[in-house]
Structure formats: C-alpha cells, structure tokens
Amino acid sequence: MQQFDVVIVGAGAAGLFCAGVAGQKGLKVLLIDHGEKVAEKIRISGGGRCNFTNLDVSSANFLSENPRFAKSALSRYTPRDFLALLGRHQIAFHEKHKGQLFCDRSAEDIITLLLAECATGGVTRWQPCSVNAVRYSDAAPSGEDGTSTATSTSTSASGRYEVDTSLGTVSARALVIATGGLSIPKIGATDLGYRIAKQFALPLVETRPALVPLTFDEAAWAPFAQLSGLSLPVEIATGGKKDSTRFREDLLFTHRGLSGPGVLQISSYWQAGTGIRLNLSPDTDVASFLQTAKASSRKRVANELSSLLPARLADAWVAHSTAAGGSAERPINEAPDKVLNLLAERIARWEITPTGTEGYRKAEVTAGGVDTLALSGQTLESRQPGLYFIGEVVDVTGWLGGYNFQWAWASGFACAQGL
Ligand code: FDA
C-alpha cells in the first residue's frame, strides 16, 4: 500500500491550491479526482476568463449558518496574496465591475498556474481515479516508507486514513475533502464529500442551489416570456423588513423566469414560498418623471417611459397596467394621475413570487454543506482528527463576483498550514 502524508480528494480550485501549498511545505501529497481533466469549473468560470477573486473581500460577502467562520481563513490568505502569485506567473488580469478580477486571456491561465504550483510541490496526481471507501484506523502507522521531509506535522491525527481507490489503496495521516458542491453534475459534481462527512458523524447544513436563475409558474410567467433576452439594471430585494437583503445589479428576462447577476445574487438568500421585490428604475423617481412629462408632452405613455426603461419593457408594463384597469395606452397628457401613479408604483416595486429555481443543473454554487460547527476556522480540520474539508463542500457560500474562488484559495491555504 502506498503511503502519503496527505490524500486530497478533488482537483478543483481548493484541492489543487491546497495540494501545491502542502507539497511545497515538503509534504508527500496525493491528489485524486474522478474527472479526466482538473478544475472543470475554473475552465468554464467567468465566461471562460475566470473571475478569480475580488478586490474587496470580507466575511460579509458570504452566507453560512456561522457568518463569522470564514473570517480567519480569509484574513490569512487575501486577494493581494493571490495577485502576488499571479504576478510570479506573469498572468495578466483586469477589473471588470465592483472589484471583480478576471484573466485577460483565459481561465486556462489559472489552471496552468495551479498545476505548476503542484509540480513545484512534487504533488502526485491520480486521474481519473474514483474513491470507493475511506477508513480511519487509530493504530500506529506501519512501514512509513518515503513519507514527509517536512518538520511540521500539526494535524491532530494519531491514526491513519486508508482510501480504497480505483487505482489501489493508499494510506495517509491526513485526508482533505475538496469535492466541491452539487452544481453542474454533468461536469463531475458528486455528493462524496457530504457522504464522507456523514460517515464520520459530522453535521451537515441542508444543501440548496445558489447563484441560480429563478423560475415561475408557466401560466403566471406567460405575459413576461416575450421579454426574454432583455436586460436592465435594477434593485432587487428579498426577505422581510428586518432581514431584507438587496443588490443593485443587472436583471435578465428568460423564457422561464429571471436571471442575470442581480437575480443570481438574491437567489442565494431567497426562501421558497416567499417573494422578491424589484425596482426596475432604481435611479429615477418614476412618479415625478411621469408628472413632468405629462406637463410638457403629448407622446404615448410608453414612448415617454422608454427614455427610462428598455422600450419593450415600457410597452409591456403599460399594457400590463392597462389590463389591470389602468388604461395607460394613451398620450401622457391625457392620462389621469391615478393611472400614472399606479404605473410608477408597479415599476418601482414589482413584487413577484418565484415557484422555484433552475436547480443544480444551472446553479453556480451549492449553499449549505459541511457544518462549520464541526470545523476549525484556523485549519479547516474537522472534529474527526486528520479529516479536513475545504472549498465549496463547506457551508460557506460566496456572492457572485470572485468570492467563491477566494474562499477556495483561502480555505485551501489555511488547511495546508495546518497539515
Ligand atoms: P470544485 O467544484 O472546483 O472542484 C471539485 C473537484 O472534485 C472537481 O474536480 C470534481 O471532479 C471532484 N470530485 C467531485 N466528486 C468527486 C468524487 N466522487 N471523486 C473524485 N473527485 C470528485 N466562482 C468564482 O469565484 N468566480 C467565478 O467566475 C465563478 N464562475 C462560475 C461559473 C460556473 C458556470 C460555475 C458552475 C461556478 C462558478 N464559480 C465561480 C463557482 C466556483 O467554480 C466554485 O465555487 C469553486 O470551483 C469551488 O471550488 P472547489 O475546489 O471547492 O470545488
């Protein structure tokens, strides 16, 4: 049986990064993934350019049952640290929007960087290789041939893990689970990480798709389906008065519902059965705008509105309020104030209740996961000695905007320090 210091399962963002850092500490690392290729999610991220971090990261940009959990790891490996690494690999990048950093060339640059860091650390990689079973034995290790040259063995395990894989059984004093979440199963997402947590009696926070488009009942959505493809900046909110969450981002109409950055952000906070509220013209007081137009214009109401909103949307909202008895299909100077105010209200506060989401098939991430109560915020080691969880498999979910990769780097780094 081959012996390693550490076996890491999952060669995605967190697993690759952790493997490189641990290998460069002198640890003998085996990295396993069941996919043919590493890091498929990095490859498709950010439209192929990978939004690899954000200039402004704090634990406030993450959801978790324990919102402060991510703080320690995030403070010990910051966006500046990752930018320094990019600098060493001469990878060019740019800021796109709200601190979001993307590769100039391609997401492949990040994958190449991670593989180079693993090579420098002498990491052994087995792919495609699946995990059949994991066992922990408290007994003292036997035949420690070829193990660590590192002096630090800070993991609290006294026993060893045996991992039965499709390429044979291996043994290590630490096991790191970096298998990610459940989103996009067609590129390799599985529930292995959660199953291993359960095997060792570690608690889980229920998982759900997050950063995901919202869907509506077909009949209720029919009037809006014609707006598919239309995009505009909005303010979007969910939750009650005390716990409301809001974002200012773009909204995209689709055939089945709503998408775009604003909707993806709010989807992580949306609770099934509750509504969302949208201000379709967040920079303008629509009621005053319509009153001013009424005093000086004879154009149709929809024509006036089209200087505030995309024309198709203005038409649809006027038709909508007409259908609701508002009768706004007329020159604006003839429209009663009551009708204009109702229309303004519907633009500034469109309330709608999604029936669901597009699910893991389309979700960028999985919210929930291994409960942070069972993990050390310093090292990501679980209360099962020598067993670590990093990246998306943990109940730490970032906003859209590079936060999920920053969590992968930071949690991978914190774990490698503890190994
Ligand atoms: P990740 O999913 O990267 O890796 C898990 C690895 O484990 C995979 O290689 C998988 O094959 C392997 N694995 C799973 N089950 C296994 C098993 N049973 N046996 C062996 N191996 C197994 N984030 C961000 O910050 N900026 C962005 O631009 C984007 N963009 C984006 C676009 C799209 C389309 C998606 C789906 C996601 C994003 N994300 C993102 C989110 C980001 O990709 C995600 O949070 C990180 O990749 C999580 O890193 P992990 O290493 O935890 O999991």
Q: Is 35 in the pocket of ligand 1 (CB under 6 A)?
A: yes
For ligand 1, say whether the CB of 14 is within 6 Å of any of its atoms: yes
By CB atoms closer than 10 A (0-12, 13-18, 19+), residue 337 is: exposed
Q: Is any atom of ligand 1 closer than 6 Å to the C-beta of 395? A: no
User: By C-alpha distance, which of 364, 375, 365, 366 is closest to 70?
Assistant: 375
Cβ 213 under 6 angstroms from ligand 1? no
- Ligand 1 centroid to Cα of residue 65, in Å, is 21
203/314 Cα distance (integer angstroms): 49
Distance CA 132, CA 169 (A): 9
Query: 44 CB less than 6 Å from ligand 1?
Result: yes
Rounded Cα distance between 412 and 77, Å, is: 9
Asked whether the beta carbons of 212 and 362 are under 8 A apart, the reply is yes
- CB of 374 within 8 A of CB of 408? no
Give the residue carrying structure tokens 């990501």. 380
Best of 45, 56, 183, 360 for a ligand 1 pocket test (most atoms within 8 Å of beta carbon) = 45
Residue 271, judged by CB atoms within 10 A of its CB (0-12, 13-18, 19+), counts as: exposed
Say whether the peptide bond before residue 128 is cis (omega within 30 degrees of 0): yes
pLDDT computed for residue 24 by the predictor:
98
Nearest CA to ligand 1 atom 30: 45
Q: Are 14 and 390 in contact (CB under 8 A)?
A: yes
Longest dimension (CA), the chain: 91
Contact 280, 232 (CB under 8 A): yes
- Which residue's entry shows tokens 């991220």? 45
* Predicted local confidence at residue 140, as pLDDT: 53
Cα–Cα distance measured from residue 360 to residue 142, given in angstroms and rounded to the nearest whole number: 43
Reported in sequence order, the residue ranges of 59-191 that DSSP labels E, i.e. its strands, are 62-63, 93-95, 100-103, 124-126, 131-137, 160-165, 168-177
Closest alpha carbon to 13 in 103, 87, 113: 113
**pTM of the shown model:** 0.94
Q: Measured between alpha carbons, how far is 158 from 279 in angstroms, rounded to an integer?
A: 57
Mutate which of 37, 41, 114 to test ligand 1's pocket (most atoms within 8 Å of Cβ)? 41
Closest C-alpha among 39, 37, 50, 53 to residue 107: 50
Residue 58 is given by DSSP the state -
What value does the CA radius of gyration of the chain take, rounded to a whole number of Å?
A: 25
Identify the three-state secondary structure at position 267: helix
Q: What is the pLDDT of residue 319?
A: 86
Determine the pLDDT at residue 143: 45
The one-character DSSP state at 166 is T
Instruction: Quote the pLDDT of residue 138.
Output: 84
Note whether 292 and 268 are within 8 A (CB): no
Residues 38, 42, 48, 49, CA torsion sign: negative
d(CA 407, CA 54): 11
240, two tokens: 């009650």
Helices (H), 155-234: 192-199, 218-225
Say if residues 176 and 6 touch (Cβ distance below 8 Å).
Answer: yes
Reading the chain (419 residues) residue by residue, the pLDDT tens digits are 999 999 999 999 999 999 999 999 999 999 999 999 999 999 999 999 999 999 999 999 999 999 999 999 999 999 999 999 999 999 999 999 899 999 999 999 999 999 999 999 999 999 999 999 999 998 654 444 444 444 344 555 579 999 999 999 999 999 999 999 999 999 999 999 999 999 999 999 999 999 999 999 999 899 899 999 999 999 999 998 777 999 999 999 999 999 999 999 999 999 999 999 999 999 999 999 999 999 999 999 999 999 999 999 999 999 877 655 555 567 899 989 998 999 999 999 999 999 999 999 999 999 999 999 999 999 999 999 999 999 999 999 999 999 999 999 999 999 999 99
Residue showing tokens 């190994």 = 419
Please identify, by atom number, the ligand 1 atom nearest to the C-alpha of residue 392. 52
